[in-house]
Chain A
Amino acid sequence: MATTSSLTFSKLLKAFVVCGLVWTGLQTYILHSFEFDWFIAATDGIMSSILLAAACWLINNNLRYYQPGKGSYTNLLIWCIALAAICMTGSRWILPLINPQPVYVKFMSQSLIIRFFTNFLAIGWMAMISMIWYSQLDQKENEKRKSEAEKLARDAELYNLRQQLQPHFLFNSLNSINALIGFKPDEARKMIHQLSDFLRGTLKKDDQQQITLNEELEHLNLYLEIEKVRFGHRLKTEISCDDSCRTAILPALMLQPIVENAIKFGLYDTTEDVVVSIRGEMDGNYLELMVQNPYDPQTSRPRQGTGFGLSGVQRRLYLLFARNDLMETHQNDNIFTTIIKIPQL
């Protein structure tokens, strides 16, 4: 996009230079036909054209960075008139210094009006072209931005949908149930119920919904119970929070992805037993939630800052509270810590 527009911009520049040269030639020829010698005609032509080109350049540059609104066309007109007058005055004072013959000086003062109007026409023409050109560029840029934003929104929505269904979690859980049916049918049945409750909870919950921490923890427990059937030999969880924060409010499914991330991270980044701890406490007007999991700093360095699952959490916090400082992560001593703060309204 940038390269193509600059390409056409350089073409435009060439056209501008050619126009300037033609203009110079024409003015020189006209003056010569008024029986001035070639030197006088040429100096006049060149000087007037340079001044005119400078004025055109100025107005073009102005319009590049500042598009006049519908109401301020008068301003633009005044600018054109002023620039035309400046060009004319410039020629009027500079040229007689080069060619002081009385005939030429007299001709100069007689031709001031026509000079002014040709200047005005040329500058006005330039202003019009620039305005159309740049507003068209702006429009293209806007359209591009708009389609990009739409694409981002679409991608996010798709990602959310896919995340909500969590195919791997689902298939692996079904596989565990398949195993249990053979020799522990009661446990298989229990797991089917847990899985159903969990899925129902995930599907029913609206992103905008506010729930108490207690409700969120109940839902989370269903998930943890299922994960423990799969990884019970390695996975342990510790949940600690005082009664005061159990009634605190948070957006639905805010803690869930953080814990999922911690479990996945812990289970697949170490081979030892994994303890995932979840702690909640009130800090003034904030509900502070801390999730910790072990990890291996040797192999996990490529993860930059926050994982993919966590960037979604950060984004959501930003969209809900318009703040970027509500989530932080720390890594030390083989422990990865995620902390979120939920303002209590």
Chain B
Amino acid sequence: MTKALIIDDEPLARMVVKEYIQQFEQIEVIQECNDGFEGLKAIQLHQPDLIFLDVQMPKINGFEMLELVDKQPAVIFTTAFDEYAIKAFETHAVDYLLKPFSKERFNKAIEKYLAQAQSPASTAPKETEKLLEYAAQSPAQHERIVVKTGTKVKIIPVADVQYLQADDDYVSVFTKEGSYLKNKTMSFFEQTLDARQFVRVHRSYMVAVQEITRIDPYEKDSHLAILKSGAKIPVSKTGYVKLKQVLGI
């Protein structure tokens, strides 16, 4: 039996998926969720095999929700938005359904999923990850970072971020209120954050340019960036070159 979740903020939109899926007896809809928060909880609780996910939802969008999921199920996106997704989705995702979609189109998506689920070396999660990085370039994600603290979801406006520090498989996001862990790599942030605002000054550090008050020389070839908060961030030789470029000095 395949466990499925429907995450969409419009009841009628969930109804369509529920109606279409009835003919697949091997798939059971175990819960419907109104938004990303509910979705997140339900995913941790039920560990579903497949989720139907809307993109535009209250507070956190579908992509942001997926970023917070630890063990990712197969995803079929259902959305009226084709702006930042359509190209990537057609090549990478389990599937991407543009609302309103026909029953035939929906069946195709399910068949695609079932075929992938049967082959033991399923590549679905990997591909969704690729997709996520592509989708992370959507404008909304330049403006905020979504993190999980315990069971709560915290939305950090990018303007509040002082610097980022690599921490094993995680990245610590430092704000004036404290630091938050996000299970992403430095290069993910390097790709998604605005390069004019954030500079990778060191293998393990990225810094918000507007937070820097001064840059002091430090040891041979390296520098220290002093932030408004008083934090001292190491700047490597190549990092210094990048920083100078952004600052125009």
B residues less than 8 Å from A301 (CB atoms): 157, 159
- A102 within 8 A of partner (CB): no
A residues less than 8 Å from B80 (CB atoms): 167-168, 171-172, 175
Query: Which stretch of B41-49, B55-63, B126-134 is in the interface?
Result: B55-63
Do A179 and B57 form a contact, CB below 8 Å, given A168-B81, A172-B99, A302-B158? no
Do A230 and B100 form a contact, CB below 8 Å, given A167-B80, A301-B159? no
Number of interface residues of B (CB under 8 A): 26
- Please state if A302 and B143 are interface contacts (CB–CB under 8 Å): yes
B residues less than 8 Å from A230 (CB atoms): 10, 12
Query: Which stretch of B13-21, B209-217, B222-230, B235-243 is in the interface?
Result: B13-21
- Please state if A271 and B157 are interface contacts (CB–CB under 8 Å): no
A residues less than 8 Å from B58 (CB atoms): 267-271
A123: min CB distance to chain B, Å: 41
Per-position 1/0 for B154-170, Cβ under 8 A of A: 01011100000000000
Q: Which B residues between 1 and 43 are near A, CB-CB below 8 angstroms?
A: 9-13, 15-16, 19, 34-35, 37
Q: How many A-B pairs fall under 8 Å by CB?
A: 71
B33: min CB distance to chain A, Å: 11
- A4 within 8 A of partner (CB): no
A residues less than 8 Å from B81 (CB atoms): 168
- B144 within 8 A of partner (CB): yes
- Please state if B59 and A180 are interface contacts (CB–CB under 8 Å): no
A90: min CB distance to chain B, Å: 45
- A299 within 8 A of partner (CB): yes
**Whole-angstrom distance between the alpha carbons of A233 and B159 in the complex?**
34
Residue in contact with A268 in the complex, picked from B10, B37, B57, B143, CB distance below 8 Å: B57
- Please state if B13 and A271 are interface contacts (CB–CB under 8 Å): no
- A176 within 8 A of partner (CB): yes
A312: min CB distance to chain B, Å: 18
Chain B minimum-CB-distance residue to A187: B12
**Whole-angstrom distance between the alpha carbons of A233 and B98 in the complex?**
23
- A174 within 8 A of partner (CB): yes
B residues less than 8 Å from A93 (CB atoms): none
- Please state if B159 and A180 are interface contacts (CB–CB under 8 Å): no
- A231 within 8 A of partner (CB): yes
A residues less than 8 Å from B11 (CB atoms): 233
B residues less than 8 Å from A302 (CB atoms): 143-144, 157-159
Q: Which A residues between 140 and 193 are near B, CB-CB below 8 angstroms?
A: 167-168, 171-172, 174-180, 182-183
Per-position 1/0 for B137-157, Cβ under 8 A of A: 000000110000000000101
Chain B interface (Cβ < 8 Å from any Cβ of A): 9-13, 15-16, 19, 34-35, 37, 56-59, 80-81, 98-100, 143-144, 155, 157-159
A-B contacts, 13 listed (Cβ < 8 Å): A167-B80, A168-B80, A172-B13, A174-B99, A175-B13, A175-B80, A182-B19, A231-B10, A233-B11, A267-B58, A271-B34, A298-B155, A299-B59
